[in-house]
Amino acid sequence: MNLAAQMKERAATLWHFQRIRRLVRQQEGSGSQAMVSVTQIFCQDPACPGPATQITVMGLDLLRRVVVIHRPLDQVELADIRTAFPN
């Protein structure tokens, strides 16, 4: 893979990280007052077809919540976020 293709792939991955963070903050209503971490992990569940997305949220109350969505970063949608973080 050449350098341009690697940069394009990294830019797309970063865009999805930021997109998911924004969706979580909107769903939670916390704005910038919560730390949101997004990671793509390899799912250990045999029913999971491939990589999964792990989302960690830590608010001002210092409680940490970890959610795993069994989809790759680029396939996570608003409906997945709403299911994982109900109001």
Average pLDDT over residues 34-62: 90
What DSSP assignment string belongs to 39-85?
EEEE---TTS-SEEEEEEEE-TT--EEEEEESS-GGG--HHHHHHHS
Question: What percentage of the chain exceeds 70 in pLDDT?
Answer: 99
Per-residue pLDDT tens for 9-41?
999 999 999 999 999 999 988 777 889 999 999
d(CA 51, CA 32) in angstroms, rounded, equals 27
Q: Read off the DSSP letter of residue 1.
A: -
**pLDDT of amino acid 31:** 73
pTM reported for the whole predicted model: 0.87
